[in-house]
Structure 1
Amino acid sequence: MGKILKKALLLTLIWAFATQYCNAQNEKFGIMGGINYSRISGESPLIDVATTGRIAYNIGVYSEFAFYNGISFSPRIIFSSQGYVQELFQSENETMEIVNKFNFVNVPAIFKFRIYDELNLQIGPQVGLWLNGNAEVIKSDSGEFLGDKTKLTADSKFDFGGNLGISYKLADRFIMEVTYFHGFSDFVGFDFPVSKSKNSVFQFNIAYLIF
């Protein structure tokens, strides 16, 4: 927990430093949202073989502050629904699919570097705060457990990782982004241990600049 808190503090200091030295004449604020394709990755055969991604959504607030020509800082606060789909083999003739849903508030600190015209490279750290989670049976060959839900708990409330992606300004007020997030901290969102599990999320987002 101590390491995660240190990383969260480092991210906060980076955010404060960057905002302090940004050009206030080029501030942009707005809202953003989009689609997540999330899963967990790790060394366990359970993760590698028996899980697939979950499609969900994210929504939040967007800001951007210009540094110098072609460089800007873009902190956000995002509600993100993540998780994965797990296949369990009950017997030779029966399988079950369970969707594990994780809800986070994520705080990405993104640095944007202009590549060409309105195309930008995006990179930066992110801290996520676990809100809640549940596991729901979405497929059962027998139908016996269909719809059953179980509340999930997390070993850690914090998830630290990094973002890498690209963005393109479509018009004066619209920005399109494609981003990949990979967790650096071990994260377990269920009741049994899986070694070195990480959150892994692809995102497609649209930001709308209000001013």
Structure 2
Amino acid sequence: MKKLILITLALISTSTFFGQGLDLGIKAGVNFATITDASGLDNRTGFVGGVFVGGKFNDKIGLQADLLYSQQGAEFELGEFDLNYVNVPIVLKYYLTDIVNVQLGPQFGILIDDDTQTVVGETINDIATNDFDLSGVVGVGLDIPLGIRVEGRYNFGLSDVPDNDGFDKGKNSVITLSLGYSFL
């Protein structure tokens, strides 16, 4: 966690030297999450929200880092797989126009809370989960005048969520839609 905070602070410091200025703000939205490669799971709808910082190197290339609280996981007939993360996506933004950009980069997640209980008969099983999640991020964003930011992202897990040999391995798969406001 300390490393994630240091990376974010380094990006904030670095972005003040960007040619096009600093972009600092808040964002909130909705996640549509599931766990891939595991059978019988349905989407879990959850909240995502936090802060972002970034800037443009030139007219076409920018960088953005977020610090987000993110509700992820999946739902299924025998229980729930509720996972709450603090995520730090760091995306490179390529501007197709002054407003439209495409995004690509890694996301580092720390599990802060989980509820992974299943009920089989009268037995309650608690599935062990990994505390760290590495994902890739692809997305599209709109930097609308007056500081409005609209983003749609797909986060695809690169590391397994369950840390248990008795449960199917699977990775986070999250579609995020968010609305933000830049103060600068």
Task: Report the TM-score, using the length of structure 1 for normalisation.
Answer: 0.73
Contact 2:127 2:162 in 1 (8 A): no
Who is 1:56 aligned against? 46
* Aligned partner letter, 1:180: Y
* Aligned partner letter, 2:14: Q
What is the aligned residue count?
Answer: 179
Distance in structure 1 (CA, Å) of the matches to 2:25 and 2:7? 23
Compute the RMSD of aligned alpha carbons: 3.1
**Given the superposition, is the C-alpha separation of residues 102 and 38 from structure 1 closer, same or farther in structure 2, using an over 3 Å criterion?**
same
Who is 2:149 aligned against? 175
In structure 2, the residue corresponding to 1:179 is in which secondary structure? strand
Contact 2:20 2:57 in 1 (8 A): no
Contact 1:153 1:191 in 2 (8 A): no
Contact 1:133 1:189 in 2 (8 A): no
Corresponding residue to 1:158 among 119, 126, 132: 132
Distance in structure 1 (CA, Å) of the matches to 2:162 and 2:126? 14
1:132 aligns with 2:113: yes
Contact 2:71 2:84 in 1 (8 A): yes
**Given the superposition, is the C-alpha separation of residues 16 and 85 from structure 1 closer, same or farther in structure 2, using an over 3 Å criterion?**
same
Deviation at residue 41 of structure 1 after TM alignment: 0.3
Distance in structure 2 (CA, Å) of the matches to 1:190 and 1:37? 24
Who is 2:35 aligned against? 40
Deviation at residue 28 of structure 1 after TM alignment: 1.2
In structure 2, the residue corresponding to 1:172 is in which secondary structure? helix
Task: Report the TM-score, using the length of structure 2 for normalisation.
Answer: 0.83
% identical aligned pairs: 26
Deviation at residue 106 of structure 1 after TM alignment: 0.2
**Given the superposition, is the C-alpha separation of residues 18 and 131 from structure 1 closer, same or farther in structure 2, using an over 3 Å criterion?**
closer
Deviation at residue 124 of structure 1 after TM alignment: 0.6
Contact 1:132 1:152 in 2 (8 A): no
Deviation at residue 53 of structure 1 after TM alignment: 0.5
In structure 2, the residue corresponding to 1:23 is in which secondary structure? coil
**Given the superposition, is the C-alpha separation of residues 24 and 192 from structure 1 closer, same or farther in structure 2, using an over 3 Å criterion?**
farther
Corresponding residue to 1:205 among 169, 178, 184: 178
Between structure 1 and structure 2, the one with the greater Rg is 1
Q: Deviations over 1:156-200 (max 9, x none)?
A: 2110011001001233211100000001111217794323x1000
Distance in structure 2 (CA, Å) of the matches to 1:168 and 1:159? 27
* Aligned partner letter, 1:173: G
Q: Give structure 1 stretches of 5+ with no counterpart.
A: 89-97, 138-144
Deviation at residue 64 of structure 1 after TM alignment: 1.4
* Aligned partner letter, 1:30: G
Alignment of 1:15-26 (within 5 A): 16=10, 20=14, 22-23=17-18, 26=21
